[in-house]
Amino acid sequence: MKSVLSVFILATIISTSLIAQESGRKIPAVDVKKLDQTTFNTGDISNDGKPIIINFWATWCSPCKRELNTIAEVYEDWQEETGVKIVAISIDDTRNVPKVEPYVNGQAWEYEVYIDPNSDFKRAMNVNNVPHTFLVDGNGNIVWQHNSYQPGDEDELYELVQKLAAGESID
Amino acid sequence: MLRKINVLAAGLIISAFSGFSQELLDGIQIHGNIDIYGQTYNEDSIIGAPVVPEKAGLNAFTNLIATKGAFTAGVRFESYMPPIQGFDNRYGNQKVGIPYRYVNFVKEGLDITVGNFYEQFGTGMILRAYEAPSLGYDNVFDGLRVKYSPFRGVYLKALAGNQRYYWNKSDGIVRAFDGEVQLNELFTKFNESKLRVALGGSFVSKFQSAGISSITLPENVASWASRVQMNYKGFGFTGEYAYKINDPSSDNNFIYRAGQGLFLSGTYSTKGFGINVSAKTIDNMAFRSDREATINDLFINYLPALTRQHTYNLSSTLYPYATQPNGEIGLQADIIYKVKKGTKIGGKYGTTIQVNLSAIQGHDTTRLSNPNELLTQEYLPNDPTRQGYKTSLFSVGDETFYRDYNIEITRKINKSIKLKGSYIHQNYNIDLVQGTATGSNVIADIAVMEGTFKLAKKHSIRAEAQHLWTAQDQGNWAFALLEYGYSPHWIVSLLNQYNYGNSNKALRVNYPTAQVTYIKNANRISIGYGRQRAGIFCVGGVCRNVPAANGLTVAITSSF
């Protein structure tokens, strides 16, 4: 009887957590810093029902900078066509925090940039290493994620953004 | 009959429990990430690879986070079977365990965490708990933390806890408080002001029993810090000053001198141009929750190196600087300039130039007594000889700790070719940072060329050539890397390093490595084989010595 009970409980847990998974994961609410060092809560990330790309990067991460600099060249077109917004989360710590804003402006990025100096948001989003990209649909659900970057990855990402913007499922 | 009752009772329990668990579990989300790194060790005496009796090492980290409404709970499983070479052996004292678990509750500006938590006050000069799993660094707190925002623009934090010490906890307890006021948020009339000002202050106290000791030890050590952050249009300024009362420890050879630190940083940036100039001076600021702790153990504070964090192999892992918490003074400038597209220098697609200059010196100090004699003396609080040395926070001594002057130019040639060239000059006090006794600094010059070539949609090649010149230490190095990428799934890379300039001919060794990586969404599997050069791998302010190795590596990461 005991085993039946435990199997039943286990099944309940699994099924309920599976149901929960399907309903989609929202962006966790964690305090990060704006470029002017004031506090911003990631629960407030939004884009008027249009898709959002959340990208974790750092000033010391070469592939991260390759990715964000490559996308920067086409970002205007992406925004015009799909309304997508890119939120770039720098995981630089105290050592490099003062270099983030000069780098972002120096490269003339138009992204919304936040700094996560003690990796609180990185932990909450279960990011192992950078670059790590999340795609969030118009309802605020995280629907896709990708780790690392190589040239051409931005094409796959944009195809998914276009699908989301058109209201299609990306599975 | 009895059987029937049993079944009935069980049925009731099941239905009650399922109803209860249904309610409890409704809307629970579970997410996590896994990071597994395994390596085999072949014997290879010529590169100095240590003989590993287990023939292999395995580190694995699994994080699970469950959230429901205002509640979050998390755990991390860690496994070391045995630890990868270069990780502290004390991680191997337990094969698998849960060093990190917490419950967090957030409601109406109140945020309470019970269990483990990471935290940083200001720039971290008197408190920062963080993790760097790839380095085996984790000084997480275990205790209680409360964060509260009573009004918009006012942020308060209080905590108490022990720190992680491998599979144990620190002897010492840390109690700390931090307050920050963002004036523009607090006062409505400044809401729209272009001048943004934030003020902050922290207080950190540690308690550690004196135990049985031949000298009088302070059991409570207090430290405080105050900070300011200002922004006006493209300008930004950060300043933090920290003070720590006498804290005799292994770091300072048990002297009764107070510690001080000052960090100042100014930035200016506009579209296409950015500059940051930072200055830092610290004296006797090693702050740990155990006075006997050494190496990277049980730091309460964080003192990162005021230098560029290099990314290329030869510039980052041979001569990386690490802050000297006992005393140093340094200056760093970092400049980025994007030359406009369509100009002669900028070319068709624009050119980016980055320059970074840093210089770290010791303080000008006068030793007051032979530090080795201190322990035999009676404790006299006002005895100046127990102060160890005399110096000023702003003095600049003769000893060069580190110099790094570097330039990096990135230029897109056409739609498929991007080139990057770097030149780096380093002057490295190897005796101080690595504890050697060579008697002279290493002067190294490093040149790097990198090219990215997009062959076709999804196909790309990246190549790196690096060279390091030095007359000291191991002499000249050459490095080459070739990487083929098939987006979005495959990366194949081949690299070789050759220490052809070693003064000992027998040590002129090649270090070839091949690696294949497969990526699918947030899963990544990487398999490599070859020789790994001994080096120092750093993230942020912490470095790990990685001994030479020869063998197979497997790395798996996943987020879900």
The closest alpha carbon to B352, from B466, B235, B274, B463, belongs to: B274
pLDDT > 60? residue A14: no
| Contact (CB, 8 A) for B127 and B119 | yes
Query: Which helix (DSSP H) or strand (DSSP E) does residue B433 occupy?
Result: helix B430-434
Q: Which of B309, B458, B523 is the best residue to mutate to test the A interface, defined by the most A CB atoms within 10 Å of its own CB? A: B309
From the list B30, B278, B311, the residue facing A60 with the nearest CB is: B311
What SS3 string covers B408-429? EEEEEEECCEEEEEEEEEEEEC
CA–CA separation, B65 vs B257, rounded Å?
Answer: 44
Average pLDDT, chain A: 88
From the list B28, B34, B273, the residue facing A20 with the nearest CB is: B28
**DSSP 8-state secondary structure symbol assigned to residue A4:** H
Q: Residues of B numbered 177-236 whose beta carbons fall under 8 angstroms of chain A's beta carbons: which are they?
A: 182, 184-185, 196, 198, 229, 231, 234, 236
Q: Residues of B numbered 475-534 whose beta carbons fall under 8 angstroms of chain A's beta carbons: which are they?
A: 485, 487-488, 491, 517, 519, 521-524
Average pLDDT of the segment spanning B430-459: 95
Kindly report, residue by residue over B101-158, the tens digit of the pLDDT: 999 999 988 999 999 999 999 999 999 999 998 889 999 999 999 999 998 999 999 9
| Inter-chain touch A20–B229, beta carbons under 8 Å | no
Distance from CA of A72 to the nearest CA of B (A): 12
Distance from CA of B226 to the nearest CA of A (A): 15
CA–CA separation, A39 vs B200, rounded Å?
Answer: 13
Q: What is the dihedral of CA B468, B473, B475, B480, to 10 degrees?
A: -40
| Inter-chain touch A98–B265, beta carbons under 8 Å | yes
Kindly report, residue by residue over B378-412, the tens digit of the pLDDT: 545 445 557 888 899 999 999 999 999 999 999 99
B233: left (phi over 0), alpha (psi -120 to 50) or beta: left
Q: Which of A30, A150, A153, A159 is the best residue to mutate to test the B interface, defined by the most B CB atoms within 10 Å of its own CB? A: A150
Residue B20: per-residue pLDDT: 52
| Listed range (A141-145, B106-110, B504-508) with the worst mean pLDDT | B106-110
CA B300 to chain centre: 13
| Inter-chain touch B18–A103, beta carbons under 8 Å | no
What the block records as the tokens of B490 is 């495959």
Residue A22: per-residue pLDDT: 42
Question: What residue spans define the domains of chain A?
Answer: 26-165
The β-bridge partners of B478 are B467, B498
From the list A23, A102, A152, the residue facing B276 with the nearest CB is: A102
Average pLDDT of the segment spanning B161-174: 96
Kindly report, residue by residue over B527-539, the tens digit of the pLDDT: 999 999 998 887 6
A85-90 and A112-115 beta bridge pairing: parallel
Average pLDDT, chain B: 91
CA A104 to chain centre: 18
B442-456 and B417-428 beta bridge pairing: antiparallel
Q: Does B415 contact A at CB distance below 8 Å?
A: no
Cβ partners under 8 Å of residue B464, min gap 6: B312, B448, B449, B450, B479, B480, B481, B495
The closest alpha carbon to B547, from B51, B81, B55, B38, belongs to: B51
Listing from the earlier edge strand, what are the strands of the sheet with A52-57? Answer: A25-26, A141-147, A132-136, A52-57, A85-90, A112-115, A31-34, A39-41
What SS3 string covers B47-103? HCCCCCCCCEEEEEEEEEEEEECCEEEEEEEEEECCCCECECHHHHHCCEEEEEEEE
| Inter-chain touch B267–A101, beta carbons under 8 Å | yes
What pTM does this model have? 0.91
* Residue B253: band (very low, low, confident or very high) from pLDDT cuts 50, 70, 90: confident
Residue A19: per-residue pLDDT: 44
| Contact (CB, 8 A) for A151 and A157 | no
Residue B388: per-residue pLDDT: 85
CA–CA separation, B506 vs B504, rounded Å?
Answer: 5
| Inter-chain touch A98–B238, beta carbons under 8 Å | yes
CA–CA separation, B51 vs B41, rounded Å?
Answer: 8
pLDDT > 80? residue A166: yes
CB atoms within 10 A of CB B151: 10
Backbone φ, ψ for residue A11 (5° rounding): -60, -40
Average pLDDT of the segment spanning B366-387: 59
* Residue B23: band (very low, low, confident or very high) from pLDDT cuts 50, 70, 90: low
Q: Does B71 contact A at CB distance below 8 Å?
A: no
What the block records as the tokens of A44 is 């407030």
Residue B557: list chain A partners with CB under 8 A. Answer: 128-129, 147
- Strand segments, DSSP code E, in B149-297 are 154-165, 168-169, 173-182, 195-207, 220-232, 235-244, 259-270, 273-283
Number of cross-chain residue pairs from A and B with Cβ atoms under 8 Å apart: 213
Residue A126: list chain B partners with CB under 8 A. Answer: 31-33, 63, 65, 559-560
- Report long-range pairs for B499-502 (Cβ below 8 Å, ≥24 apart): B499/B474, B499/B475, B499/B533, B500/B475, B500/B476, B501/B469, B501/B470, B501/B474, B501/B475, B501/B476, B501/B477, B502/B474, B502/B475
Average pLDDT of the segment spanning B273-279: 98
Cβ partners under 8 Å of residue B123, min gap 6: A94, A97, B227, B238, B240, B263, B302
Residue B560: list chain A partners with CB under 8 A. Answer: 126
| Contact (CB, 8 A) for A90 and A119 | no
Residue A33: list chain B partners with CB under 8 A. Answer: none
User: 3-state class of A155 per DSSP?
Assistant: helix
Q: Residues of B numbered 29-48 whose beta carbons fall under 8 angstroms of chain A's beta carbons: which are they?
A: 29-35
pLDDT > 60? residue B359: yes
CA–CA separation, A39 vs B465, rounded Å?
Answer: 42
Rg (CA), chain A: 18
Distance from CA of B460 to the nearest CA of A (A): 6
Residue A61: list chain B partners with CB under 8 A. Answer: 311
Rg (CA), chain B: 27
Backbone φ, ψ for residue B239 (5° rounding): -140, 140
Residue B191: per-residue pLDDT: 87
| Inter-chain touch A147–B106, beta carbons under 8 Å | no
Q: Is the peptide bond before B99 cis (omega within 30 degrees of 0)?
A: no
Residue B65: list chain A partners with CB under 8 A. Answer: 124, 126
Kindly report, residue by residue over B326-357, the tens digit of the pLDDT: 999 999 999 999 998 888 888 888 899 999 99
| Inter-chain touch B21–A129, beta carbons under 8 Å | no
Q: Considering chain B, what percentage of its residues have pLDDT values greater than 70? A: 92
* Residue B254: band (very low, low, confident or very high) from pLDDT cuts 50, 70, 90: confident
CA–CA separation, B376 vs B192, rounded Å?
Answer: 62
Q: Does B276 contact A at CB distance below 8 Å?
A: yes
**CA neighbours closer than 13 Å in the CB half-sphere of residue B248:** 20
pLDDT > 60? residue B80: yes
Q: Which residue has the tokens 């629960």?
A: A43
Residue B10: per-residue pLDDT: 55
| A10, B13, B18, B246 from B7: Cα distances, Å | 19, 10, 16, 69
Kindly report, residue by residue over B5-15, the tens digit of the pLDDT: 565 555 555 55
| Inter-chain touch B130–A144, beta carbons under 8 Å | no
Q: Which of A5, A18, A40, A94 is the best residue to mutate to test the B interface, defined by the most B CB atoms within 10 Å of its own CB? A: A94
User: 3-state class of B298 per DSSP?
Assistant: coil
Closest Cα in chain A to B269: A102
The closest alpha carbon to B202, from B176, B228, B220, B174, belongs to: B176
Residue A9: list chain B partners with CB under 8 A. Answer: 17-18, 21
CATH of A26-165, one of 3.30.930.10, 3.40.630.30, 3.40.30.10, 3.30.1490.480: 3.40.30.10
Kindly report, residue by residue over A48-94, the tens digit of the pLDDT: 999 999 999 999 999 999 999 999 999 999 999 999 999 999 999 99
**DSSP 8-state secondary structure symbol assigned to residue B16:** H
